[in-house]
Amino acid sequence: MPRMTAARAAVEILKREGVTNAFGVPGAAINPFYKALQAAGGIDHTLARHVEGASHMAEGYTRAGAGNIGVCVGTSGPAGTDMITGLYSAIGDSIPILCITGQAPTSVIHKEDFQAVDIASIAKPVTKAATTVLEAAQVPGVFQQAFHLMRSGRPGPVLIDLPIDVQLTEIEFDPETYVPLPVYKPFATRAQIEKAISFLLESRRPLIVAGGGIINADACDLLVEFAELTGTPVIPTLMGWGTIPDDHELNAGMVGLQTSHRYGNANFLESDFVLGIGNRWANRHTGYKLDVYTKGRKFVHVDVEPTQIGKIFAPDYGIASDAKAALELFVEVARELKAAGKLPDRSEWLATTQERKATLHRRTHFDNVPLKPQRVYEEMNKAFGPETRYVTTIGLSQIAGAQMLHVYKPRHWINCGQAGPLGWTIPAALGVAIADPESPVVALSGDYDFQFMLEELAVGAQHRIPYVHVLVNNSYLGLIRQAQIGLDINFQVNLEFENINSPELGVYGVDHVKVVEGLGCKAIRVTEPDQLLPAFEEAKKLAAEFRVPVVVEAILERITNISMSTTADISNVVEFEELATEPGHAPTAIKPLRV
């Protein structure tokens, strides 16, 4: 039997589980693993500037759908605690990533040794499993189980903590005979699907709510086929955006308090039956007034995690199933019903949803200086085509982007939905660009999100990772400022200051162009609306030429309130700006192409 260090066995297992990329920061307690990583070869490593950044790079990598699980690596103590935000982000959105940490020697872990912390206990609430391996011979089994857990049921992250003496201990292990454990997922039965479809047949105004579980299961084609067979309009959730193209006649818009379309909320409130697949009824989608969301309609919920069913509200019928397995049966039954002429005609209902989609728009065309953010997204739609992968986290920039941008393919809206940590966007975009170097990647940030982890831009410069980053700058914590309106305060949300080194910036404070260039990247500042489209085109050229991130900073007016509900109620979204349907304002948002 071959003998090798436990660290080398771990690396060999990573390779056989399909890992090709890792992100991390070495340190004394994890150096034996790094030695094995170098000796084994076959896994590219990207050196981050911050371990939290490495965890978000791994997230972005997995979310882009390269087929492999992203791995992040750090040393003992603060490296592990830095990863917690990445683990929280991953488990909230059902993203499998593997975090590997070094640890103090087993003999001194509980003796307050330097950088020794019980990271497994800290990480347990935000992982599917978190383990400190105390016996070297257990390393292969722990890694094998980790990949099984990450892929089975509802996907999610795992942390493995390796004491330095465990890493260095030699064990008997034969990589050539290693086989991954089978993945477990629940499967719907034919009887369950027939029962669910009976609700659909009885309804007059049905909708499908398509969640991120459909994307995780690579089942978007099946969703579209089922919707087309039955003539059922689709409401993608924020995490499910891209399950059906924005310009498809059955796309009825997004619903929610913030990241929603006017026509999406209006269509939903007219429905009488909702089939939710791979979604978790997140409160930003349903609103907090569940009586408004549920009144007058029946619900069927299909989810891979049985405990998700009934967690937010009790559906009329629930099915624990992988989205792909369920949709395969939905399509099979729908085909049979169609062939037998038993599917009702939904053309009238579809026509009303598309009429709303064609008319209920928010205005985007403003010529104001300083810029209104809506104009930025209008020009982004012109500059960046259907192959673009958008990456963003949270803030008014993300909310407005979700309201006004267009997505046509799965995994082309890559958004940290549940956790929404500031700083996520830059490292996640780097992970996405590494996973898919052939597709254009466009990140979207407000100034505060951008400033949280902007040091990771140096990673893009060092490793030649090109992408375009749209930075909308109003020197405000815009979403928090808007949330404070209800409390009648405007407190500690203003980022402006007089930058003595950049007087041409006026009140806007940080000179992002100088900072970006100092980190080895390229930057363009835009102050007028007619400059936006040329700047985006130039940014694409610079990214291709220099192979680095290129930032386009749009200087916005200080205060723009973005449309959202102020009462936690999806029937009461406040429109702060003029609407596109008013006289003299032609709709600039997407029009259905196949009606």
Q: What's 96's domain CATH number?
A: 3.40.50.970
Supply angle C-alpha 502, 507, 508, rounded to 5.
75
Buried b (16+ CB within 10 A) or exposed e, 96-127: bbbbbbbbbebeebeeebebbbebbebbeebb
147 and 80 assigned to the same domain: yes
118 and 203 assigned to the same domain: no
Is 367 inside any structural domain? Answer: no
Cite the DSSP H helix spans in 72-208.
78-92, 119-123, 139-151, 164-168, 190-202
What is the pLDDT at residue 418?
A: 85
Domains contained in the chain, number: 3
What is the pLDDT at residue 411?
A: 96
341 and 406 assigned to the same domain: no
Domain of residue 254, residue span? 190-359
229 and 267 assigned to the same domain: yes
> Which residue out of 480, 515, 579, 595 is catalytically annotated?
480
What is the pLDDT at residue 584?
A: 36
Query: For this structure, is 302 an active site residue?
Result: no
287 and 227 assigned to the same domain: yes
What is the pLDDT at residue 170?
A: 97
What is the pLDDT at residue 480?
A: 82
Query: For this structure, is 480 an active site residue?
Result: yes
Is 577 inside any structural domain? Answer: no
Q: Which of 177, 207, 241 is the last residue of a domain?
A: 177
> Which residue out of 13, 25, 222, 250 is catalytically annotated?
25
Find residue 189's DSSP bridge partners.
Answer: none
The DSSP symbol for 182 reads P
What is the pLDDT at residue 507?
A: 54
For residues 382 and 246, what is the distance between their CA atoms, to the nearest angstrom? 15
333 and 411 assigned to the same domain: no
Is 182 inside any structural domain? Answer: no
Which are the contacts of 508, defined by CB distance < 8 A and separation ≥ 6?
473, 475, 496, 499, 555
For residues 126 and 418, what is the distance between their CA atoms, to the nearest angstrom? 12
> Which residue out of 13, 30, 37, 51 is catalytically annotated?
51
Residues in the chain: 595
The domain spanning residue 281 has which CATH number? 3.40.50.1220
Return the half-sphere exposure (C-beta side, CA atoms, 13 A cut-off) of residue 236: 30
What is the pLDDT at residue 65?
A: 87
Is 567 inside any structural domain? Answer: no
Tell me which residue has tokens 């990480």: 123
Is 571 inside any structural domain? Answer: no
Nearest alpha-carbon partner for 21 in 65, 84, 69: 69
| 524-to-441, 471, 513 alpha-carbon distances in Å | 17, 10, 7
> Which residue out of 139, 200, 422, 524 is catalytically annotated?
422
Is 508:475 a contact under the CB 8 Å cutoff?
yes
550 and 448 assigned to the same domain: yes
Query: For this structure, is 51 an active site residue?
Result: yes
Nearest alpha-carbon partner for 539 in 471, 469, 472, 474: 469
| 61-to-14, 263, 408, 489 alpha-carbon distances in Å | 15, 33, 20, 40
Q: Which of 177, 207, 237 is the last residue of a domain?
A: 177
| 123-to-81, 88, 160 alpha-carbon distances in Å | 8, 9, 10
Query: Per-residue pLDDT for the chain (595 aa), expressed as one digit of tens each?
Result: 789 999 999 999 999 999 999 999 999 999 999 999 999 999 999 999 999 999 999 999 999 986 789 999 999 999 999 999 999 999 999 999 999 999 999 988 887 777 789 999 999 999 999 999 999 999 999 999 999 999 999 999 999 999 999 999 999 999 999 999 999 999 999 999 999 999 999 999 999 999 999 999 999 999 999 999 999 999 999 999 999 999 999 999 999 999 999 999 999 999 999 999 999 999 999 999 999 999 999 999 999 999 999 999 999 999 999 999 999 999 999 999 999 999 999 999 999 999 999 999 999 999 999 999 999 999 999 999 999 999 999 888 999 999 999 999 999 999 998 888 999 999 999 999 999 999 999 999 999 999 999 999 999 999 999 999 999 999 887 788 888 888 889 888 888 888 888 777 655 789 999 999 999 999 999 999 999 999 999 999 999 999 999 999 999 998 888 999 888 899 999 998 888 754 433 344 444 333 2
485 and 344 assigned to the same domain: no
Nearest alpha-carbon partner for 190 in 320, 324, 315, 330: 330
For residues 63 and 207, what is the distance between their CA atoms, to the nearest angstrom? 26
Query: For this structure, is 526 an active site residue?
Result: no
The token pair that represents 100 in the structure block: 């590997």
Global pTM? 0.94
118 and 200 assigned to the same domain: no
Which are the contacts of 291, defined by CB distance < 8 A and separation ≥ 6?
none
